Amino acid sequence: MTLRVFASAWGNATHWGSLGRLLDGLKSKGFAGLEASLSDLGEDADARAETAKQAQDRSLELIVGLYSHWTDYEGGWSPADPAHHLDQLQRQVDACAALDATHINVHAGCDSWHEDVSTQFFEDAQRIVPANASFETHRGRPLGHAFQCRRILDAVPGLRLTADPSHWHLVHERMAPRFLDGHVDAIAARVDHVHCRIGNTQRPQLAAPFAAEAAESIDWHLAFWRRCWDAGARTACVEYGPAPYQTTGDFRGLWLQNCAAKGHIEAVFAAWGEEPSPNLAAARCLGGAG
């Protein structure tokens, strides 16, 4: 039983200077592959196909990030209706089809929509994306609000998640919203892919996530990951990114942090495999005060 750990092109490609060199770095450090958006992979279909071939030549997998709007979170946000989002999502799904992606991570919808609109949108979006796709719990999206995410999951039974709770911590300014207490297993059962980035209530990622002063954050995330693993999730992306997520522009340090995060998550996964049931202390971390 293995956990396949990916690294993001975000920030790491800058450190290595090219995608080819980044792929070599991923191979040398034992990553399962690269998680990247379409624009990260290349400016057109031919360039993206070449990147996919380079990954395949190194026996690396690809997880491709797709966007229904506000692509790559670059430039200013602008409002758009669900029809526009669905149209762009369809075009991105079509562009991804030739890349033989192991998984597809979808950034979809808008947090300004009424909840009924969001629910209908995800019902429609599910019919567009392939079976190996899941929707990220990212800020700026309907699923980036934990309470609303839970209600949408109830309303759209087939919806699958890429879980990145660092966004929930910031939105709610607490590590474990009360709604998680008693509902964690139901949420974890919908998770296919995990972004294993340790953050807290004020930052999406910690510059020193494994330091003693980060113990509360580590414990919370460890308990959550274990619930996802109990439910069958077997891919993860460490995804520590550059400024403004990181406080400096030190891209070499960012790469080393992602490598350290890979070692950490593989170690805790191995320990979980030896003792599959989370202990009571870890379970309590998920039901903390709201």
What confidence tens digit (pLDDT) does each residue in 21-42 have?
Answer: 999 999 999 999 999 999 999 9
Strand partners, 133: 104
pLDDT at residue 159 tops 80: yes
Q: What is the pLDDT of residue 247?
A: 77
Number of domains into which the chain is organized: 1
What is the share, in percent, of the chain residues with pLDDT greater than 90? Answer: 84
Domain-located, residue 133: yes
* Measured CA distances, 75 to 5, 94, 264, 274 (Å): 29, 24, 34, 46
Q: Would you state the structure tokens that stand for residue 43, as one six-digit string?
A: 């400016």
Domain that holds residue 12: 4-285
Q: What is the pLDDT of residue 178?
A: 72
**For strand 4-8 and strand 235-237, is the pairing parallel, antiparallel, or unpaired?**
parallel
pLDDT at residue 68 tops 90: yes
Per-residue pLDDT band at 1 (split at 50, 70, 90): confident
Domain-located, residue 115: yes
Greater confidence, 273 or 248? 273
What confidence tens digit (pLDDT) does each residue in 270-287 have?
Answer: 999 886 544 333 333 344
Domain-located, residue 56: yes
Q: What is the pLDDT of residue 276?
A: 52
Mean pLDDT for the stretch of residues 239-243: 93
pLDDT at residue 208 tops 70: yes
Domain-located, residue 10: yes
Q: What is the pLDDT of residue 100?
A: 96
pLDDT at residue 202 tops 60: yes
Domain-located, residue 212: yes
Per-residue pLDDT band at 184 (split at 50, 70, 90): confident
Q: What is the pLDDT of residue 277?
A: 45
pLDDT at residue 82 tops 80: yes
Give the least confident one: 9-18, 160-169, 175-184, 197-206.
175-184
Mean pLDDT for the stretch of residues 221-231: 95
The average confidence (pLDDT) of the chain is 92
* Measured CA distances, 92 to 84, 102, 169, 228, 247 (Å): 12, 16, 29, 28, 32
Domain-located, residue 290: no
Per-residue pLDDT band at 180 (split at 50, 70, 90): confident
pLDDT at residue 69 tops 90: yes
Domain-located, residue 161: yes
Q: What is the pLDDT of residue 279?
A: 39
Q: What is the pLDDT of residue 282?
A: 39
What is the share, in percent, of the chain residues with pLDDT greater than 70? Answer: 94
Domain-located, residue 124: yes
Give dist(CA 167, CA 126) in Å, integer: 22
Orientation of helix 82-96 relative to helix 115-126, angle to 10°: 30
pLDDT at residue 158 tops 90: yes
Please compute, for residue 97, the number of CA atoms within 13 A of its CA located in the half-sphere on the CB side. Answer: 9
Give dist(CA 211, CA 191) in Å, integer: 27
CATH number for the domain spanning 172: value is: 3.20.20.150
